Amino acid sequence: MFKLKLLDNYILKKFLGTFIFTMLVITVIAVVIDTSEKADDFVRSGLSAWQLVKVYYIGFIPFIMSMIYPLMVFIAVIYFSSKMAGRSEFIAILAGGVRYNRMLRPYFVGSVFLAVIFWLASQYWVPRANEIRTDFQAVYVDRNSSYNGDPYRNSNFYLRVDPTTFVGFRYYDTLNKTASNFFLQKVKGNKVNYNVRAETIRWDPEKKDWRLSGVIERHIDGVKETLKKLDSMHVNLNVQPKELRRDDYLKDKLTTPELHQFIHMEELRGSEGLNTFKVELYHRDATPFSVIIMALIGAIISSRKIRGGSGLHLAVGIVMAAIFVVMDKFAVTFSTKGNLTPILAAWLPNIIFSGVAGILYVRTPK
């Protein structure tokens, strides 16, 4: 373990102080902009200002802070470091016999500290905040949208209950928890040995399973088939109504253990389109790591005294931040819409910018 010295404390205080100030200012601006955009929705909701804080902003503020967190670390490092460079403080530090690597140590310590906080928030706290925010969004904002979409979109389900059982049904009603045209098939080897079809299926809250009506049950043994007609029967499909409800915000609301479990269950059921959830899962580890990379890049760029001072440093920093964000969005799109591996999509910007940080470090005068 190393001991923090005067230089470390001096830079860390500037680092953390500038970051907190920058984060608060940008968050306030984001809240003001969001309030102006949703003013009509807030009025229609009929909620008081305090109620809006409890049912929306207590979730929105952590959400917006998580979005801008790595960029605010980057901007904060560039801002205070360029001011130090303008006053020739880095020249004095290096001239005093401090090695360049030693000078970067407080940046590394500060960025790791902020990255750990962000990692913990991304795993547990931000998803809980998103649950509050998205519940309000779904009830008071989305329903007032001029585009309501197709009412039957995602109302047809085809699931794998276990390795040998497949089910499907159409026109699922999330309110009444009913559907029609139900079928269930059990497979042995590559042949169907059991089949059930029903006119309707309904969730039974007392028995915690599904009740079928108008049932035709078939047992198949080679060329021999036994058919039975039943008015009703109960089946356990290993799926509950809440798992069938369409939720566009689901990936944002699940904590990391819940997201792991959700992906595992959906893979067992043979569900498609899971790359969105997998990218989100890997992003929660990759984004905190980007805090360290961006902080070191910012320190390397802004520690040099150049013409243009902090203005030029900030301009370079904003351009690099924009490139990072665009690269991240492209990687996510190629994963969810194409064939890019989710873990690579989440980590690709970090991999590329780690290389950029290495090149800048090698080429910077020490």
When comparing pLDDT for 42 and 238, which is higher?
42
When comparing pLDDT for 157 and 201, which is higher?
201
**139 and 288 in one domain?**
yes
pLDDT reading at 112 higher than 90: yes
pLDDT of residue 174: 74
**196 and 336 in one domain?**
no
pLDDT of residue 152: 43
**136 and 36 in one domain?**
yes
Q: Tokens standing for 342?
A: 């989710």
Read off the pLDDT band of 267 (50, 70, 90). confident
Query: Could you read off the pLDDT of 323-334 as tens digits, one per residue?
Result: 888 888 888 888
**352 and 278 in one domain?**
yes
Do 167 and 237 meet the contact criterion of CB atoms below 8 Å apart?
Answer: yes
Cα(76)–Cα(14) distance, integer angstroms: 9
pLDDT of residue 148: 47
CATH number of the domain encompassing residue 202: 2.30.30
Read off the pLDDT band of 128 (50, 70, 90). very high
Q: Tokens standing for 44?
A: 């229609």
**34 and 131 in one domain?**
yes
**188 and 117 in one domain?**
no
- Name the region of 97 (left: φ>0; alpha: ψ -120 to 50; beta: rest): left
Q: Tokens standing for 222?
A: 């080679």
With respect to residue 169, please indicate whether it lies within any of the assigned structural domains: yes
**128 and 80 in one domain?**
yes
Do 110 and 80 meet the contact criterion of CB atoms below 8 Å apart?
Answer: no
In degrees and rounded to multiples of 5, residue 44 shows phi and psi of -65, -30
CB atoms within 10 A of CB 165: 17
Read off the pLDDT band of 2 (50, 70, 90). very low
pLDDT of residue 149: 47
**175 and 32 in one domain?**
no
pLDDT reading at 14 higher than 90: yes
With respect to residue 252, please indicate whether it lies within any of the assigned structural domains: no
Domain final position from 245, 265, 290? 245
Q: Which of 139, 19, 13 is nearest to 68 (CA)?
A: 19
pLDDT of residue 29: 94
With respect to residue 331, please indicate whether it lies within any of the assigned structural domains: yes
Query: Could you read off the pLDDT of 181-210 as tens digits, one per residue?
Result: 898 888 887 788 888 999 999 998 888 889
pLDDT of residue 177: 84
Alpha helices in the chain (DSSP H): 6-37, 39-45, 49-52, 58-86, 89-95, 100-120, 126-136, 241-244, 250-253, 256-268, 275-302, 309-337, 342-363
With respect to residue 124, please indicate whether it lies within any of the assigned structural domains: yes
pLDDT of residue 173: 80
Do 149 and 69 meet the contact criterion of CB atoms below 8 Å apart?
Answer: no
Q: Tokens standing for 354?
A: 């780690």
pLDDT of residue 1: 44
pLDDT of residue 58: 93
Read off the pLDDT band of 151 (50, 70, 90). very low
pLDDT of residue 325: 83
pLDDT of residue 308: 57
pTM: 0.78
Query: Could you read off the pLDDT of 274-333 as tens digits, one per residue?
Result: 888 999 999 999 999 999 999 999 898 888 776 655 667 777 777 888 888 888 888 888
Domain final position from 207, 228, 245? 245
Angle, nearest 10°, between helix axes 275-302 and 256-268? 140
**302 and 354 in one domain?**
yes
**Residue 84 host element (H or E):** helix 58-86
pLDDT reading at 50 higher than 80: yes
With respect to residue 152, please indicate whether it lies within any of the assigned structural domains: no
pLDDT of residue 302: 85
Read off the pLDDT band of 32 (50, 70, 90). very high
Strand partners, 111: none
Query: Could you read off the pLDDT of 62-89 as tens digits, one per residue?
Result: 999 999 999 999 999 998 988 888 888 8
Cα(344)–Cα(282) distance, integer angstroms: 9
Cα(188)–Cα(162) distance, integer angstroms: 12
Average pLDDT over residues 82-106: 85
Total count of domains within the chain: 2
pLDDT reading at 3 higher than 60: no
With respect to residue 82, please indicate whether it lies within any of the assigned structural domains: yes
Residue-number span of the structural domain to which 67 is assigned: 6-144+273-363
Domain final position from 206, 228, 245? 245
Average pLDDT over residues 256-267: 86
With respect to residue 197, please indicate whether it lies within any of the assigned structural domains: yes
Supply the mean pLDDT for the chain: 84
pLDDT of residue 146: 46
In degrees and rounded to multiples of 5, residue 86 shows phi and psi of -65, -30
Q: Which of 108, 60, 106, 114 is nearest to 288 (CA)?
A: 114
Average pLDDT over residues 243-267: 82
